[in-house]
Structure 1
Amino acid sequence: MASMRINELLQQSPKEQKVEVNGWVKTFRSNRFIALNDGSTLHNIQCVVDFDNFDEGLLKQIATGAALHIKGLLVASQGRGQTVEIQVTDLIVHGTADPETYPIQPKKHSMEFLREQAHLRVRTNTFAAVMRVQSTLSYAIHRYFQNNGFFNMHAPIITGSDAEGAGEMFRVSTLDPKNPPLTEEGEVNYKEDFFGKETNLTVSGQLEAEAYAMGLGKVYTFGPTFRAENSNTSRHLAEFWMIEPEMAFFDLNDNMDLAEDFIKSVLSYVISHCQVDLEFLEKRLLDEEKTKPQAERSEMPLLDKLRFVIDNKFIRLTYTEAIDILKNSTPNKKKKFKYLIEEWGADLQSEHERYLVEKHFKCPVILFDYPAKIKAFYMRLNEDGTTVRAMDILFPGIGEIVGGSQREERLDVLLDKIKALGIDEKELWWYLDLRKYGTAIHSGFGLGFERLVQFTTGMGNIRDVIPFPRTPQNAEF
């Protein structure tokens, strides 16, 4: 007989049928009641052991964390909280867990402690729920694009270009760090490196996705990206996953329409398929909120916040309009903002973005037409010569979640922009070719997957929505 997953067993009608199940012990009470979980659901299944039918030595091996194979009869449960349970007829201990040293005991653990046990934290209810939501979101993203005529492409992880122009990249090299070959000028001679040039881990697959969109029409990447930014905030990772669609013949309005529809679609899907996990995470968040000062508490429960995004049409306004609102806002006039808005051209911070969403408009917001000076070189310059066709989507509780733009399709304008920034056009010859041969308007956006998971699950720290976080001074596991 094949073993069943616990989520399937809990949906069965109890008819004293024979069943088999594998899982890990959550608790073992009174040498009789085993709470077993296999990760398929938040709920455990109770397995009832008749002490007289089993060797005492075998029962002593059963403790929290032990892995078991159980055979038995599925019957109606006599206890509260579950409809079925298993009367155990046979039991095999796959692996024991010493209760003196096993770190994931049935009690409340701090997030900091669980980060130190990242290899085992998925056995807790919180992290198992987060990972199931993460998996469902990932599927929903692929499903959306595949159902809307997009082709998935794998952008290179090793690159010779800096798509964002930020310079915060991890170098990839096989040269001896203690004795690298040098040029006559005393610089590292990367011509002798593995790729014959200086290379890094990518910060974005956008530029390569643009190339494929100009042949396939609509493409998307969903892969790992890397930023060597020495930041230890709750919103930053050194390694994370990005969703980056690129669309030929899309202008900025098309881009905004797609991004809004995409977000609403994937959130709707996860609500309909992860109801139990989201309700658990909502309760966890409400309990956590009670420990915070009133001013720091969220105004909306988790599921309400998700429905808030799904049910509301996103407000669209220009950066210039947003600056006027922020300059005249009460927190700015009373100097409550950490970063005061004093003039046009300021780079908006999370506190400004959240004010627009949560206080002023009370719905998600899309800002567009940003100053060229604070945006990347590839964004299309507007006719005013000072703003670009950029757009950011702002969410409650998190601020910016999507950044995108209509791309600059005019060769002469793009050349002028990269020269002004001191970028070597030889490094981007292939990107410039896209403007020489069959250029067309095109657009795209980027969405950090972990930030979306963080928003969807209500977790306070982005390190708790990725299995093994990579941050400054931390590459454990």
Structure 2
Amino acid sequence: MQSTRIKDLLVTEPLSQEVQLNGWVKTFRSNRFIALNDGSSLGSIQCVVDFENFDEALLKQITTGAALRITGVLVESQGRGQKVEVQVNSIFVHGASDPETYPIQPKKHSMEFLREQAHLRVRTNTFSAVMRLRSSLAFAVHQYFNQNGFYYFHAPIITGSDAEGAGEMFRVTTLDQKRPPLTEDGAIDHSQDFFGKETNLTVSGQLEAESYAMGLGKVYTFGPTFRAENSNTSRHLAEFWMIEPEMAFYDLDANMDLAEDFIKSVLRYILEHCMEDLEFLQKRLLDEEKTKPQAERSEMPLIEKLRFVVDNGFKRVTYTEAIDILRNSKPNKKKKFKYPINEWGADLQSEHERFLVEKHFKCPVILFDYPAKIKAFYMRLNEDGKTVRAMDILFPGIGEIVGGSQREERLDVLKEKMAALDIPEEELWWYLDLRKFGTAVHSGFGLGFERLVLFATGMGNIRDVIPFPRSPQNAEF
């Protein structure tokens, strides 16, 4: 007999039909009522056992966490809280679970404890809801780009270039760590390494995606990226997933239009297809916020917040305008900011971004035309010689969720910027070639997928929206 997902059984008309289902035991009460869940939805189905028809040794194996196959008859439920239940005819135990040591018991667990049980935490309602939403968001990402004429591009994970220029990269090598080969001046001889040069895990697929956009028109990457940043905050990971579209013949305005439309589209998808999980996470968030001081509580429930983003335009503000707002703000004048804003050219911190979004404009904000000195070399220089055609999208509770720019398409200007930053031309000769052979206006952006999932689920820590988080001093599982 073909097994049926519990999600489908819960909405099936009970006509006393025989069904088969597989799943894990959430609870087993009174040697009679099994709550079985298979991960297809939050809901578990009640399976009613007539214990007189079953061997006692078998019933002792039915404990929380055990994996079962059940066959029985789907009938209208006699109890409250569910429409259907299964009258059990047979039980097969795929795998028993030791009730004394199984860590995911039917009680409230702390997020810290569940991070230590990352291999099992998806069996909780919270994490199953988060991971289903993550999956749906990923599907919506691919669907959006496919429907808008983009080609999916697989950027290399191992690279010899640092796209961000920050130097916070994980080295890739096969050299003997204790006795690496050395050059005559005592430096490590990378010519004897596997790739014949120094290589790292990528921080971004942008530079490679640019080259493909200049042949295919519109491409996007969606894959893992890595930052060796020793930051142990609730917003940073060492391994995370990035969505990076690159578009030929797009200027900054078209880039901002696309980014806004893209974010609204993927959030609209989960509002239309994932309401059960969103409602559960919203209730969880409301319960959690009852324990916080009034000033720290969110102004909007989760679903209302998502709808607000989907239904309203993002406010577009220049960096210069934002600096004036921040400089004259009450928190700045009263020295409440950890990083005071005193002059134009300051690199905005999360506290500044969140003030603009949550307190001043009270909506998502797109900041653009940043000082060239605080942005990457590949961003197009404006005519004023001071600012670049960069843009960041700021979200409530998150801060920066998107960073992008119009790329510098002029060969002479790009060379000058690389020289000023001591970036050797021979390292990026192929990137410069794009400006030699059919250069054109082009733009792109990067969106950290986990930050999007964080916003969409209302979770408080980015380590709780990726299956197995990688962060400083943590590479378990």
- The reply to whether TM is greater than 0.5 is yes
Q: Is structure 2 residue 383 aligned with structure 1 residue 380?
A: no
Q: Which amino acid aligns with 2:391?
A: M
SS of structure 2 residue aligned to 1:452:
helix
Q: Which residue of 2 aligns with 1:476?
A: 476
Alignment of 1:409-428 (within 5 A): 409-428=409-428
Q: How far does residue 295 in structure 1 lie from its aligned partner after superposition?
A: 2.0
Alignment of 1:77-476 (within 5 A): 77-476=77-476
Separation in structure 1 between the aligned mates of residue 270 and residue 350 of structure 2, nearest angstrom: 26
Q: How far does residue 161 in structure 1 lie from its aligned partner after superposition?
A: 0.1
SS of structure 1 residue aligned to 2:353:
helix
SS of structure 2 residue aligned to 1:440:
coil
SS of structure 2 residue aligned to 1:225:
strand
Separation in structure 2 between the aligned mates of residue 78 and residue 453 of structure 1, nearest angstrom: 38
Separation in structure 2 between the aligned mates of residue 181 and residue 419 of structure 1, nearest angstrom: 30
SS of structure 2 residue aligned to 1:390:
strand
Q: Which amino acid aligns with 1:215?
A: G
Separation in structure 2 between the aligned mates of residue 247 and residue 125 of structure 1, nearest angstrom: 40
The aligned length equals 477
Separation in structure 2 between the aligned mates of residue 183 and residue 337 of structure 1, nearest angstrom: 49
Separation in structure 1 between the aligned mates of residue 376 and residue 51 of structure 2, nearest angstrom: 69
Q: Which residue of 2 aligns with 1:36?
A: 36
Q: How far does residue 296 in structure 1 lie from its aligned partner after superposition?
A: 1.7
SS of structure 2 residue aligned to 1:369:
strand
Separation in structure 1 between the aligned mates of residue 198 and residue 301 of structure 2, nearest angstrom: 48
Q: Which amino acid aligns with 1:50?
A: D
Separation in structure 1 between the aligned mates of residue 89 and residue 435 of structure 2, nearest angstrom: 71
Q: Which amino acid aligns with 2:248?
A: A
Q: How far does residue 297 in structure 1 lie from its aligned partner after superposition?
A: 1.5
Separation in structure 1 between the aligned mates of residue 186 and residue 331 of structure 2, nearest angstrom: 53
Q: How far does residue 351 in structure 1 lie from its aligned partner after superposition?
A: 1.3
Q: How far does residue 97 in structure 1 lie from its aligned partner after superposition?
A: 0.5
SS of structure 2 residue aligned to 1:86:
strand
Q: How far does residue 350 in structure 1 lie from its aligned partner after superposition?
A: 1.2
SS of structure 1 residue aligned to 2:307:
helix
SS of structure 2 residue aligned to 1:15:
coil
Separation in structure 2 between the aligned mates of residue 348 and residue 150 of structure 1, nearest angstrom: 32
Q: Choose 325-334 or 195-204, whichever is displaced more.
A: 325-334
SS of structure 1 residue aligned to 2:266:
helix
Q: How far does residue 337 in structure 1 lie from its aligned partner after superposition?
A: 1.5
SS of structure 2 residue aligned to 1:40:
coil
Q: Which amino acid aligns with 2:299?
A: E
Separation in structure 2 between the aligned mates of residue 272 and residue 316 of structure 1, nearest angstrom: 27
**For residues 427-446 of structure 1, what are the alpha-carbon distances to aligned partners after superposition, in whole Å with 9 as ceiling and x for unaligned?**
00000000000000000000
Separation in structure 2 between the aligned mates of residue 296 and residue 424 of structure 1, nearest angstrom: 48
Identity of aligned residues (%): 82
Contact 1:24 1:36 in 2 (8 A): yes
SS of structure 1 residue aligned to 2:244:
strand
**For residues 435-458 of structure 1, what are the alpha-carbon distances to aligned partners after superposition, in whole Å with 9 as ceiling and x for unaligned?**
000000000000000110011001
Q: Runs of 5+ in structure 1 lacking a partner?
A: none
Q: Which amino acid aligns with 1:398?
A: I
Separation in structure 1 between the aligned mates of residue 338 and residue 180 of structure 2, nearest angstrom: 45
Q: Which amino acid aligns with 2:97?
A: A
Contact 1:393 1:401 in 2 (8 A): yes
Q: How far does residue 308 in structure 1 lie from its aligned partner after superposition?
A: 1.4
Q: How far does residue 360 in structure 1 lie from its aligned partner after superposition?
A: 1.2
Q: Runs of 5+ in structure 2 lacking a partner?
A: none
Q: Which amino acid aligns with 1:169?
A: M
Q: How far does residue 334 in structure 1 lie from its aligned partner after superposition?
A: 1.5
SS of structure 2 residue aligned to 1:2:
coil
SS of structure 1 residue aligned to 2:394:
strand
Q: Which amino acid aligns with 1:434?
A: L
Q: Which amino acid aligns with 2:359?
A: K
Q: Which amino acid aligns with 1:191?
A: S
Separation in structure 1 between the aligned mates of residue 361 and residue 114 of structure 2, nearest angstrom: 38
Q: How far does residue 209 in structure 1 lie from its aligned partner after superposition?
A: 0.2
SS of structure 2 residue aligned to 1:409:
coil
SS of structure 1 residue aligned to 2:432:
helix
Q: Which amino acid aligns with 2:341?
A: I
TM-score by length of 2: 0.99
Separation in structure 2 between the aligned mates of residue 217 and residue 316 of structure 1, nearest angstrom: 26
SS of structure 2 residue aligned to 1:245:
strand
State the Cα RMSD in Å.
0.6
**For residues 327-364 of structure 1, what are the alpha-carbon distances to aligned partners after superposition, in whole Å with 9 as ceiling and x for unaligned?**
11111111122211111001111111111111111111
Separation in structure 2 between the aligned mates of residue 361 and residue 461 of structure 1, nearest angstrom: 25
Q: Which amino acid aligns with 2:254?
A: D
Contact 1:305 1:396 in 2 (8 A): no
Q: How far does residue 273 in structure 1 lie from its aligned partner after superposition?
A: 0.8
Separation in structure 1 between the aligned mates of residue 291 and residue 441 of structure 2, nearest angstrom: 51
Separation in structure 2 between the aligned mates of residue 29 and residue 382 of structure 1, nearest angstrom: 69
**For residues 156-181 of structure 1, what are the alpha-carbon distances to aligned partners after superposition, in whole Å with 9 as ceiling and x for unaligned?**
00000000000000000000010010
**For residues 413-439 of structure 1, what are the alpha-carbon distances to aligned partners after superposition, in whole Å with 9 as ceiling and x for unaligned?**
000000000011100000000000000
Contact 1:6 1:21 in 2 (8 A): yes
Q: How far does residue 210 in structure 1 lie from its aligned partner after superposition?
A: 0.1
